[in-house]
């Protein structure tokens, strides 16, 4: 299937521009990156889709379509305007400053038919003489129209900024927004073989009992073989969250994830600081606010010191060996700072690894530049973790979602 072409209306010189949306999006995204504006690869695809859905017939339409897709923060507007002018007005200042050649991008972007009238240098300069995006002048030089559009842009990019912001840097009103986003995360736990089998015409095994029972009804003649295939069910998810003072900015968001998993997948939830508290029943309430309030009331050692080894020992002795940890995916949220002897933490982690199917350790400090797992508790626990992620922001939580859904035991232990 040939790719759809987007046609611009003929301009005042009679030229008819026809641009391939994919080439336009790819080349312009490349130009933005070269001009200093961070651009994710998927935004080029979004821009191509936007151009196909609503073909821009004027430069102003193209400007606002591109800006709505590529600009995610107010501080990026100046860089975007400079690159947009360089690409579509022929101004190469942005590339000169970075040692690039704008003609590479311009050639990839501009695919046009022959002008209806004989072209000349004046015709080629026609687009450069067009006025810039109209912005009625005001006291600050921007005007009402620009202010309105900027307000829309900032509203659209607010949620995306939240995606990248560390939980420790969120304001109180933003925490509520993030909690709602976390509650909507879709998590698919890995599957495990179940004890029961189901009947299937092309099953792997023959159900002898059912086959003989049917044969008796036919006078002892075996008319057909009853075959079965194994069934699978989701693995249990167990969450252990550190609620000590050093983890409080992250725990308040992580508890929303725990509450969603308890309700949707019957996960088991525990918190620990100097002791271990089971919160599965409290978090099973459908109302997130009531659930979190009950959890905070139940945990008496909230925002106190940390004893990771004691918390793990209590979980294994009281719950893990009785079945909660057997074959389960265990998620531990902690920065690894503990008052325990690192050798004790290693001992308890070794016990847990023999019971669990997979251990995922979430440490928000991992996102810091130059982070090394040198803290005694973290260094002792890491060799027994199957996955080690930061989870410090909503975007980083996507790694946790993938880790929970990965049914393969990865070789990340070191």
pLDDT tens digit string along 298-354?
777 777 788 999 999 999 999 988 889 999 999 999 988 888 899 999 999 999 999
Domain boundaries, the chain: 6-131, 134-164, 192-234, 237-405
Q: Give the class (CATH, top level) of 237-405.
A: alpha beta
CA distances from 140 to 135, 145, 147 (A): 11, 12, 10
Q: Which of 150-154, 173-177, 198-202 has the lowest mean pLDDT?
A: 150-154
> Which range has highest mean pLDDT (89-98, 166-175, 232-241)?
232-241
Better pLDDT: 106 or 221: 221
Tokens of 44: 């080029």
Compute the distance between CA of residue 363 and CA of residue 306 in angstroms, rounded to an integer.
14
Instruction: Say which residues have a Cβ less than 8 Å from residue 255's Cβ, sequence separation at least 6.
Output: 241, 283, 292, 295
pLDDT of residue 96: 42
Confidence band for 359, pLDDT divided at 50, 70 and 90: very high
The mean of the pLDDT values for the chain is 76
pLDDT of residue 380: 92
pLDDT of residue 138: 40
pLDDT of residue 98: 40
Work out the average pLDDT over 210-234.
Answer: 79
Work out the average pLDDT over 236-265.
Answer: 88
Residue carrying structure tokens 């050639």: 107
pLDDT of residue 369: 78
């Amino acid at each position: 299937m040939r790719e759809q072409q987007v046609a611009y209306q003929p301009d005042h010189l009679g030229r008819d521009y026809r641009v391939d949306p994919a080439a336009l999006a790819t080349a312009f995204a490349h130009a933005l990156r070269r001009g200093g504006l961070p651009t994710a690869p998927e935004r080029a695809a979004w821009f191509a889709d936007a151009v196909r859905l609503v073909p821009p017939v004027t430069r102003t339409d193209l400007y606002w379509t591109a800006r709505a897709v590529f600009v995610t923060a107010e501080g990026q507007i100046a860089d975007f305007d400079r690159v947009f002018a360089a690409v579509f007005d022929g101004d190469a200042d942005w590339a000169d400053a970075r040692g690039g050649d704008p003609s590479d991008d311009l050639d990839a972007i501009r695919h046009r038919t022959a002008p209806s009238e004989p072209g000349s240098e004046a015709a080629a300069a026609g687009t450069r003489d067009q006025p810039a995006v109209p912005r009625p002048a005001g006291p600050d030089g921007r005007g009402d129209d620009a202010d309105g559009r900027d307000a829309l842009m900032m509203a659209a990019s607010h949620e995306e900024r939240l995606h990248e912001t560390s939980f420790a840097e969120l304001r109180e009103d933003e925490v509520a927004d993030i909690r709602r986003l976390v509650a909507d995360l879709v998590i698919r736990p890995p599957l495990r073989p179940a004890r029961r089998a189901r009947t299937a015409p092309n099953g792997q095994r023959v159900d002898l009992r059912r086959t003989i029972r049917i044969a008796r009804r036919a006078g002892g003649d075996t008319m057909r073989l009853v075959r079965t295939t194994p069934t699978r069910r989701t693995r249990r998810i167990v969450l252990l969250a550190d609620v000590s003072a050093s983890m409080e900015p992250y725990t308040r968001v992580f508890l929303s994830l725990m509450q969603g998993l308890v309700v949707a997948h019957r996960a088991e939830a525990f918190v620990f600081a100097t002791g271990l508290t089971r919160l599965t029943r409290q978090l099973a309430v459908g109302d997130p606010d009531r659930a979190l309030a009950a959890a905070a009331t139940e945990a008496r050692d909230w925002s106190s010191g940390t004893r990771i080894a004691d918390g793990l020992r209590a979980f294994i002795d009281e719950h893990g060996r009785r079945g909660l940890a057997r074959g389960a995916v265990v998620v531990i949220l902690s920065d690894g700072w503990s008052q325990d002897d690192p050798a004790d933490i290693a001992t308890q982690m070794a016990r847990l690894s023999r019971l669990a199917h997979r251990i995922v350790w979430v440490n928000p400090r991992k996102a810091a530049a130059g982070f090394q797992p040198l803290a005694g508790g973290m260094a002792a626990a890491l060799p027994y973790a199957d996955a080690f992620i930061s989870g410090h922001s909503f975007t980083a939580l996507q790694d946790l979602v993938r880790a929970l859904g990965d049914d393969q035991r990865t070789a990340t232990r070191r």
